[in-house]
Amino acid sequence: MTVIRLPTAQPPDCVLGARPDVTESAGAYRATGGYWSATIRPDELLHHLEASGLRGRGGAGFPVAVKLRAVREGGAVPVVVANGEEGEPGSVKDRWLLRARPHLVLDGLARAAAMTGAARGYVYLSDPEAGARVRRALAEHPPPLPIEVVETDRTYVAGEESAVVRRIDGGPALPTAKPPRPFERGVGGAPTLVSNVETLARIALTASRPGLRRRIARSTLVTLSGGRGTPLLTEIPYGVPLRTLAAAHGTPDAAGALMGGLFGGLVDARGLDLPLEPGALAAAGTALGCGAIRFLAAGTCPVTAAAEAVGHLAAESARQCGVCVTGTAAVHGALRALAAGTAGPDTLANLTRWAQGLPGRGACGLLDAAAGTAGSLLRAFPRTLPSHLGAACPACAADLTAADLTAAGLTAAGPGRLAVAVPEVSETPSPPSPPTTPSARTALSAPPVLKGTP
Ligand code: SF4
C-alpha cells in the first residue's frame, strides 16, 4: 500500500498533511495553525462550511452545514460522534487518518461540538491501532469537552449511523429502522451528529484556513486498488477524470471500475472519462461514496467483478431484514451462475427485476448496494451478459479458479481480493512542522512519501 501526494495536494492545506507516514503530534499540528490557534467563531465557521458546499465523506455525501444545523436545532443538548469505522473493504482513508492525523480529527470534532452546542463526544472506530493513537492524542492535548473512544468489530454495516448510535448506547453495531434518524434522536436519545472522520478533518482545515474553504471542500481522499497497480491512497481535487486516476494507479488501459467502495456500482471503459465529482458521477448513475475505486484490468470480466462485490455484501448482511437475506443471496446466486456459465434463461430478467425492486427495502444501504451493482452491470455491460448464458466465460474462468471462489468471498468467506491493507504509520513523534514559506512548501511536496504493506 502506497500513499502518494499528487502535485495538487500541498501541505499544510490538505488532509494528507506533511508526513502521512508518521503520527502527527499535537505540537506539529498546532504549528500548522490547528486547534484554537485559529480563533474563528462557531457561527462564522458554520457560514464558511455552508458557503463552501462541503459534503460528508462517509458515503452519502449529505451537506455538512445542513446536518450541523439540524443537530443544533434538535431541542436538547446534542452529542457529536467522529465515525472512523470503515467497513468498505476497498477503503483505507479513515483508518489511515486516525492513525496519522488524530489531532486534525479531534480538532474537527471539537469544532463540530462548538457549532452544535454539544456537551460530549465520541470517537467510534474498529481499528485498534487507530484507537491507540487517538487515546494518546487525547492525553497529549485534552479536548474542551469529554470525548470517549468506543471500539467495535469491523463489519460492512457497523459504520452506518444508526448502528453507530446503537453500539455507543451499549447494543450491537447493527442498523435500526428509520425514522428517527440520529440527528433527531441518537445517543442516549439526544440529537446526535454522526460525522465521518474525513469530514471532520475538512471542518478543522476550514477553521484554520477559511480563505481556502472551497478548495478544501472540493478535494477528497481516494483509495485506488484492483487493476495492475499497487493500492494507492491519495488526495485529489474534484474534476480529475477517472482515467487519469487509473493511469496514476498503474492501469491506464482499465476496462472499467467498481465505484464508491461497493456503493457506486460498475462503470465501463467509457465511464472512465467521467470527472471525479459527486454531481457528475450521480448524473451518470454512479457515486463517489467513500472514495474507494477498484479498477478492472483489461481482460477482466465485469460479471466476475460484480459477483465478487455482491458475494461480499451477501456475506456481510446483518440478517435483520428478511428481504436483505433473500435478496442479496438471490442476486449473488444469479451473478455467480453467470460467471460459472450455469445461468438459466430467466437470469437476466430476474436481475433486472431485483435491480429495480430491491432498493430501499432494507434498514440500511447494503441491499441497495447489491441491487445497484446488478443494475450497473446490466446498464454498463449489456453486450457482455448474453454470452454468459449457457456457457462458461473464458475470462471469468481464467480470473476465478476454484481457490479464488473462496478467496473472493464468493463462498461468503470474507472480503478476499477486495481487501486493501492500511498504510503503515510510524508512532515516532514528528518534529514541529517548518514554517510554510514557499521554499519549505516545495520541499515538503516531493512524492512519494510513504511505502507500506503490499
Ligand atoms: S438491509 Fe441487510 S444489512 Fe441492512 S440492516 Fe437489513 S439485514 Fe442488515
Specify the ligand 1 atom closest to the Cα of 319. 7
Q: What angle do CA 293, 181, 207 make, to 5 degrees?
A: 65
Q: How many CB atoms lie within 10 A of CB 139?
A: 9
pLDDT at residue 7 is higher than 50: yes
Q: Is residue 427 part of a domain?
A: no
- Give 328-353 pLDDT, tens digit per residue: 999 999 999 898 888 888 999 999 99
Q: Whose CA is nearest to atom 8 of ligand 1?
A: 318
- We report the CATH number of the domain holding residue 48 as 3.40.50.11540
Whether the CB-CB separation of 235 and 202 falls below 8 Å is answered with no
Q: Is 359 in the pocket of ligand 1 (CB under 6 A)?
A: no
Same domain, 258 and 314: no
d(CA 341, CA 355): 21
**Closest Cα partner for 142 from 101, 107, 99?**
107
pLDDT at residue 445 is higher than 50: no
Model pLDDT, residue 407: 43
Residue 228: DSSP 8-state? T
Q: For 296-313, give the DSSP string.
A: EPTT--HHHHHHHHHHHH
Mean pLDDT value across residues 366-379: 94
- For cell 507516514, the residue is 21
Mean pLDDT value across residues 314-337: 91
- Give 102-150 pLDDT, tens digit per residue: 999 999 999 999 999 999 999 999 999 999 999 999 999 999 999 999 9
Tell me the residue length of the chain: 454
Model pLDDT, residue 415: 54
d(CA 29, CA 266): 39
pLDDT at residue 374 is higher than 50: yes
Lowest mean pLDDT among 24-38, 48-62, 286-300: 24-38
Q: Is residue 454 part of a domain?
A: no
Model pLDDT, residue 403: 43
Same domain, 389 and 345: yes
d(CA 406, CA 68): 43
pLDDT at residue 449 is higher than 50: no
Model pLDDT, residue 340: 85
Q: Of 148, 182, 215, which residue is a domain's last?
A: 215
Q: How confident is the model at residue 431 (pLDDT cuts 50, 70, 90)?
A: low
Q: Who wins on pLDDT, 437 or 356?
A: 356
Residue of 161, 167, 174, 320 with the most ligand 1 atoms within 8 Å of its CB, for mutation: 320
pLDDT at residue 414 is higher than 80: no
Same domain, 258 and 400: no
Model pLDDT, residue 411: 44
Specify the ligand 1 atom closest to the Cα of 364. 4
Q: How confident is the model at residue 68 (pLDDT cuts 50, 70, 90)?
A: very high
Three-state secondary structure of 163-207: HHHHHHCCCCCCCCCCCCCCCCCCHHHCCEEEEEHHHHHHHHHHH
Same domain, 355 and 402: yes
Q: Whose CA is nearest to atom 1 of ligand 1?
A: 362
Q: How confident is the model at residue 166 (pLDDT cuts 50, 70, 90)?
A: very high
d(CA 311, CA 410): 5
Q: What percent of the chain has pLDDT over 70?
A: 87
Specify the ligand 1 atom closest to the Cα of 367. 1
Q: Is 371 in the pocket of ligand 1 (CB under 6 A)?
A: no
Q: Of 182, 199, 215, which residue is a domain's last?
A: 215
Same domain, 169 and 231: no
Specify the ligand 1 atom closest to the Cα of 317. 3
Q: Is 317 in the pocket of ligand 1 (CB under 6 A)?
A: yes
**Closest Cα partner for 328 from 317, 337, 339?**
317
Q: Is residue 273 part of a domain?
A: yes
Residue 163 identity? A
**Closest Cα partner for 419 from 254, 261, 233?**
261
Same domain, 147 and 290: no
- We report the CATH number of the domain holding residue 236 as 3.10.20.600
CA 27–ligand 1 middle distance (angstroms): 43
Q: How confident is the model at residue 42 (pLDDT cuts 50, 70, 90)?
A: very high
- For cell 473472493, the residue is 408
Q: Is 362 in the pocket of ligand 1 (CB under 6 A)?
A: yes
d(CA 334, CA 443): 53
Mean pLDDT value across residues 387-407: 65
Same domain, 139 and 280: no
CA 74–ligand 1 middle distance (angstroms): 27
Model pLDDT, residue 410: 45
pLDDT at residue 227 is higher than 80: yes
Same domain, 342 and 406: yes
CA 324–ligand 1 middle distance (angstroms): 6
Specify the ligand 1 atom closest to the Cα of 175. 5
Model pLDDT, residue 26: 95
pLDDT at residue 259 is higher than 70: yes
- Cell numbers describing residue 388: 454468459
Mean pLDDT value across residues 10-14: 77
Model pLDDT, residue 136: 97
Specify the ligand 1 atom closest to the Cα of 320. 7
Mean pLDDT value across residues 22-45: 89
Residue 421: DSSP 8-state? P
Model pLDDT, residue 224: 94
Q: Give the count of domains, the chain.
A: 3
pLDDT at residue 390 is higher than 80: no
Model pLDDT, residue 446: 31
Same domain, 410 and 309: yes
Model pLDDT, residue 11: 72
pLDDT at residue 451 is higher than 70: no
CA 321–ligand 1 middle distance (angstroms): 5
Residue of 162, 165, 317 with the most ligand 1 atoms within 8 Å of its CB, for mutation: 317
Mean pLDDT value across residues 170-193: 94
d(CA 377, CA 369): 12
- We report the CATH number of the domain holding residue 370 as 1.20.1440.230
Q: Is 319 in the pocket of ligand 1 (CB under 6 A)?
A: yes
Q: Is 364 in the pocket of ligand 1 (CB under 6 A)?
A: yes
**Closest Cα partner for 13 from 433, 448, 450?**
433
Same domain, 61 and 172: yes
Q: How confident is the model at residue 452 (pLDDT cuts 50, 70, 90)?
A: very low
- Give 420-429 pLDDT, tens digit per residue: 888 889 987 5
> Where on the phi/psi map is residue 33: left (φ > 0), alpha (ψ -120 to 50), or beta?
left
- Cell numbers describing residue 408: 473472493
Q: Is residue 38 part of a domain?
A: yes
Q: Of 188, 215, 242, which residue is a domain's last?
A: 215
Model pLDDT, residue 401: 53
Residue 9 identity? A
Q: Who wins on pLDDT, 343 or 432?
A: 343
Question: Domain range spanning residue 342?
Answer: 302-418
Q: Is residue 57 part of a domain?
A: yes
Same domain, 224 and 201: no
Model pLDDT, residue 38: 63
Q: Is residue 444 part of a domain?
A: no
Model pLDDT, residue 5: 63
Same domain, 204 and 222: no
Q: Is residue 307 part of a domain?
A: yes
Q: Is residue 158 part of a domain?
A: yes
pLDDT at residue 389 is higher than 90: no
Specify the ligand 1 atom closest to the Cα of 174. 5
CA 192–ligand 1 middle distance (angstroms): 22
Residue 4: DSSP 8-state? -
**Closest Cα partner for 215 from 341, 51, 436?**
51
